[in-house]
Amino acid sequence: MPPRNVVIVGATGAVGQEFLKVLEQREFPVKNLKLCASAKSKGKTMKFRGETLRVEELKAESFKGQEIGLFSAGSGVSKEFAWIAAKAGCIVVDNTSAWRMDPRVPLVVPEVNPKAIARHEGVIANPNCSTIGMVVVLKPLHDKARIRRVVVTTFQSVSGAGAKAVEECIEETRAVLAGKEYKRAIFPHQIAFNCIPQIGQKKETFGKDGYTDEETKMIHETKKIMEDDTIAVAPTCVRVPVLRGHSESVNIETAKPLTPERAREILGSSSGVRVVDDPSRMAYPLATDVAGHDECYVGRIRRDPTVDNGLHLWIVSDNIRKGAALNAVQIAEML
């Protein structure tokens, strides 16, 4: 692939910084790299391949001459600038929720539905981080046994809410251990030593059906990525005091019989998946081990005795890497 002009929108954020690492580590053929962010970040410097690059304020003119845009600056920014970039000839890979369910926009996980990339009209969407980790593991099983139903509970790290959320978790933990009061700004309840069954900071995140926006995303995104509207998905999304790495307890019901042994065999040869499943050695995926790794890890694969053709799985992936930056760069590589 010939070198490309690449622009990162939201370069100073957690995912933006991860974009830089992934582009460098995977030796992506970058001709020129432009870093853009909000006005308050203008003038900051960042390193890429030994060079110091200065962050520019994002403007409509920022996309002139750019070929690939990696966006992760919030859905509001994407709604304002994604199609401006596309009209300027810059193909956008957007990491926000702005365009995921737009019929014009492919929603892509390269290990799952790479052919969808070809249908883009200038914008390609990166799925939700919790959805990515799950579908990478489920797609190979779906291809062999057809998944009818998924019941998933996520255990999502605080980094999914941004760098300030990580800082709040750390500082609140220190305050609780010291017996001091802490005034939180990000989470609706104490996150230190606690689990919050709500992703999103406001009560408005709950819909009339009682599901949060995050849970609704998992339902619709799974169907779109797997290209199968018949899959029933019932999610509960939980924020936990883990700094990096989303874990998921996943129960599936398949149309065809699928033993745990066969599932391990299928997943062991699947792209983007690593099986860690040896209960005799207490070996199973852990967020602390997965952080910084590309694969989606799976273990605790066992039969569900309450239904025909049911399996339990435990899935863990790095939400900043595969759940965001890496997936977007993989899409860019396929472009």
CB 95 within 8 A of CB 18: no
Helical spans, DSSP H, in the chain: 14-25, 75-87, 129-145, 163-177, 213-226, 260-268, 287-290, 326-334
**Stated length of the chain:** 335
* Average pLDDT score over the chain: 96
At residue 43 the predicted structure's pLDDT band, cuts being 50, 70 and 90, is: very high
Task: Please give the Cα distance from 160 to 245 (Å, whole number).
Answer: 9
Q: What percent of the chain has pLDDT over 70?
A: 100
User: What's the pLDDT at 286?
Assistant: 98
Q: Which two tokens stand for residue 205?
A: 């995140």
CATH fourth-level superfamily of 131-319: Dihydrodipicolinate Reductase; domain 2 (3.30.360.10)
Residues taking part in catalysis: 129, 246
pLDDT digits (tens, 9 = 90+) for 185-206: 999 999 999 999 999 888 889 9
CA–CA gap between residue 237 and residue 207 (Å, rounded): 14
Query: What's the mean pLDDT in 100-115?
Result: 97
pLDDT in tens, 69-102: 999 999 999 999 999 999 999 999 999 999 999 9
Q: Is the pLDDT reported for residue 1 higher than 90? A: no
Each residue's pLDDT tens digit, 131-143: 999 999 999 999 9
Q: How confident is the model at residue 48 (pLDDT cuts 50, 70, 90)?
A: very high
Per-residue pLDDT at 73: 93
Name the DSSP letter for residue 100: T
Question: Coil, helix or strand for 165?
Answer: helix
Model's pTM, two decimal places? 0.94
In degrees, to the nearest 5, what angle opens at C-alpha 248 toward C-alphas 182 and 126? Answer: 90
Mean per-residue pLDDT for 16-31?
Answer: 96
How does pLDDT run across 240-284, given as a tens digit for each residue?
999 999 999 999 999 999 999 999 999 999 999 999 999 999 999
pLDDT of 226 reads 97
- The structural domains of the chain, with segments of one domain joined by +, span 4-127+325-334, 131-319
Q: What is the mean pLDDT of residues 158-186?
A: 96
Q: What is the CATH number of domain 4-127+325-334?
A: 3.40.50.720
2 pLDDT more than 90: no
Tokens of 43: 């003038």
> Is 314:249 a contact under the CB 8 Å cutoff?
yes
**pLDDT, mean of residues 147-172:** 96
What distances in angstroms separate CA 332 from CA 3, 5, 29, one per listed residue?
Answer: 12, 12, 10
Burial 170-208 (b: 16+ CB within 10 A, else e): eebbebbeeeeeeebebbeebbbeeebebbbbeeebeee
Does 40 have pLDDT greater than 90? yes
